[in-house]
Structure 1
Amino acid sequence: MAAVLVGQFHARDAEGRIYPVHEFQEATLEPDGSSSSAPTTTYRLAIGDRVTHLGDDRFQLVQSGVEIVRIP
């Protein structure tokens, strides 16, 4: 399963810190070896920390639990 970088953006936490976020799409393989039709989208900070998408422009850093908001 290979991840392909499809986007980058910045997000800000409540204290004003800015985080560079990378958006990846991963093709998942079915048990028969074929790829599924819908790729999975994942998010990571530029330093590699995982990020969970909460909806709309809201995200949460998995390791620290800090909530960040995408900067338009």
Structure 2
Amino acid sequence: MAAVLVGQFHARDAEGRVYSVHEFENTEATGDQLVTTYKLAIGDRVKKNDDNNFELVQSGVILVRDPSPIVTA
């Protein structure tokens, strides 16, 4: 099964730069176990450290998820 985009969010590094992170779900080649992976919009791989902290695999830059926007009616 191919990876399916299930979400996206913004995250910032320590210098305040904003990154668009895409969240994908896919099944591993060895079975039907669902795996979640993360990539920047430009394709760089991202590792999830915890719910709000992520790390760019190639450079080691730490990203912090921006809070979800609150929409008022």
Using the size of structure 2 for normalisation, the TM-score is 0.85
CA shift digits 1:5-56 (9 cap, x unpaired): 00000000000000000000011244xxxx41x3100000000000000012
Identity of aligned pairs, percent?
A: 64
Kindly indicate whether residue 7 of structure 2 is the aligned counterpart of residue 12 of structure 1: no
Q: How many residues align?
A: 67
Partner of 2:70: none
Runs (5+) with no aligned partner, structure 2 = 68-73
Moved over 2 A (4+): none
Secondary structure at 2:15 match in 1: coil
Q: Which amino acid aligns with 1:13?
A: D
- Name the structure 2 match of 1:53: 48
CA RMSD of aligned residues (A): 1.1
**Gap runs ≥5 in structure 1:** none
